[in-house]
Structure 1
Amino acid sequence: MLANIFTPSPYINQYAKGWIFDTFTWALTEFDAAVFMQDSQLILPTNKFYPGKVSSIEEMAQSVFDHTLKYAGMQHWPIKLVAPDKYQEHALPKLSFTGGMRGSQSQVINTDYTVNNNSEILVSYNPAQINQPQDLVASFVQAFASILIAQRGVLPPGGDKLLPQAVDLVAAFMGFGVMFANTAYQFKGGCGSCYNKYANRQSALVEKEIIYCLALFATLKKIPGRHVTSHLKAHLRKDFRKALKELKRDNDTKQLRLLTKQ
């Protein structure tokens, strides 16, 4: 009885925790563990990661797109940004790679031109997100993670029904957990100008789950907690510290560390 009083309640339930560890293992296996350990960094909403001045919505979207694609390790992929009025749904061409799928050593060596006679993969943007750059980044990353998973052709734990959640996890796996956590939920109260439902992205993982993914990324990459919390929304900082503390006690984290060293 006394032991239960002093035992902290788990940050997330055991099912969600188990799925996150299994899916992170899947991501490390399928999407270049070496790139994760050597190249992936925590991408933050700062001028260091997104520098430069722009003079139009189009320039803003292109600049954010280019930086985000590079940080995702997919800069050599034939992914092209198009204006919303020029975007059309299209089947993805099948790509072949050398040097892995992601990272500076990755190269596309073959593309399937039989799909609409076009090997380019088109991505667009929501103009309403230009004034909410973290949402814009997160939306681009969701698109890139979806394309990455589709090209690999290996479903995550839980299969098709958990594919949207796996996309969000892969985004955190690629280093975008801070911006995904900051945009997972948008408060609808306050002044009318503070909330724009058309600018907000759709999140599959809830805040706590994204925060746990972010804490797992930081743990595996040995990133100090204070380096993360200073860029999180105020109400998320306590949760992040709790998740980080819980991960330090978790044996599954040790198993993931062994996987990254293979």
Structure 2
Amino acid sequence: MLALFKSAPLVDEQEQQWLIDTFLWAVEHFDSEYFLKHTQIILPNGQFFPDRVSSVSEMAEKVFSRVVDYAGMQAWPINLVAPSGLTPQVFPHFEFQDNLRGSEASLIVPANHPVNISFNPNQINQPQDLVASFAGTLATILIHHVGVLPPGGKEYLPQASDALACYLGFGVMMSNTVYQFKGGCGCGYNPYANRQAALTEPQTLFMHALVTHFKGDNQSKKFLKPHLRSQYKKAQKQIKALVSDSANPLLLALDEQAVG
């Protein structure tokens, strides 16, 4: 009888397992030390994005620079180019010594040419989409460089890129931009500005909650869209119970090192 009043989990058991496995894949292959010591939960506010800009290109450049810094990818040979300047390219070969990310990362095999990425000009008026799109692109570049497929294999690469962007600290913006409401009359709504999300809202929130669990974050909830906050709270409860009952040594080790 009491089961009638139990709320359903945010994601089902199969989705939950993939998300946990993907989080552990990220921890294993994308610099767990940097994640534990330096990754921040990036918020859509003036603290993280204080720059004043006067043009579309300047805004794109400032946001891109911030996202690269917060992802710990300052040493990576990645250039932002105008949409008209983006041409097909072959991913260059380069190697790092020891660390992939952060101030201690150093190239030992420099790229013979940089990785060029661009931006969607329609997103200038939707900065969270711009941030999330840059984060997803950087995550894709990380995956391509490391060369280790996510759980589920090649067909799950788009979902893994979204998940890895959350691992990099951008879960708030990733969650907020899964779906854009059109509004009452559609005024000001631009579908071409929307980020192309591969994870659903519940899946993205669950991954964000996994990251914040191990980062000890208690600020990001208020920066989520109002309709997402109860889902996020549900994800937090689901993850807390999952971790406390887990026998997975990597999850337990992370939990011991997590910021309280």
- Shorter-chain TM-score range: over 0.9
* SS of equivalent residue, structure 1 residue 51: coil
Tell me the matched-pair count.
254
Q: 1:177 and 1:252, CA in 2 relative to 1: closer, same or farther beyond 3 A?
A: farther
Query: Paired residue for 1:238?
Result: 230
Q: Do the aligned partners of 1:28 and 1:260 also contact (CA within 8 Å) in 2?
A: no
Q: 1:243 and 1:179, CA in 2 relative to 1: closer, same or farther beyond 3 A?
A: same
Q: Do the aligned partners of 1:247 and 1:253 also contact (CA within 8 Å) in 2?
A: no
Q: Do the aligned partners of 2:53 and 2:59 also contact (CA within 8 Å) in 1?
A: yes
Q: Do the aligned partners of 1:76 and 1:107 also contact (CA within 8 Å) in 2?
A: yes
Amino acid at match of 1:174: L
Amino acid at match of 2:14: Y
Residue 192 of structure 1 and its aligned partner are, at CA, apart by 2.6
* SS of equivalent residue, structure 2 residue 192: coil
Instruction: Choose which of 108, 128, 131 in structure 1 pairs with 2:125.
Output: 131
Query: Paired residue for 1:168?
Result: 162
Q: 1:178 and 1:110, CA in 2 relative to 1: closer, same or farther beyond 3 A?
A: same
Deviates more, 1:5-14 or 1:196-205: 5-14
Cα deviations by residue, 1:35-67 (Å, 9 ceiling, x for unpaired):
000000100111111112111111000000000
Matches of 2:229 and 2:5, distance apart in 1? 23
Amino acid at match of 1:181: S
Alignment of 1:69-108 (within 5 A): 69-108=68-107
Matches of 1:245 and 1:160, distance apart in 2? 31
> How high is the TM-score relative to the length of structure 1?
0.93
Query: Paired residue for 1:258?
Result: 253
Matches of 1:155 and 1:178, distance apart in 2? 25
> How high is the TM-score relative to the length of structure 2?
0.93
Matches of 1:229 and 1:37, distance apart in 2? 20
Aligned alpha-carbon RMSD (Å) = 1.6
- Percent identical among aligned pairs is 45
Instruction: Choose which of 133, 144, 149 in structure 2 pairs with 1:155.
Output: 149
Structure 1, gaps ≥5 residues long: 114-118
Superposed structure 1 runs of 4+ greater than 3 Å apart = 252-255, 259-262
Query: Paired residue for 1:46?
Result: 45
Matches of 2:125 and 2:164, distance apart in 1? 25
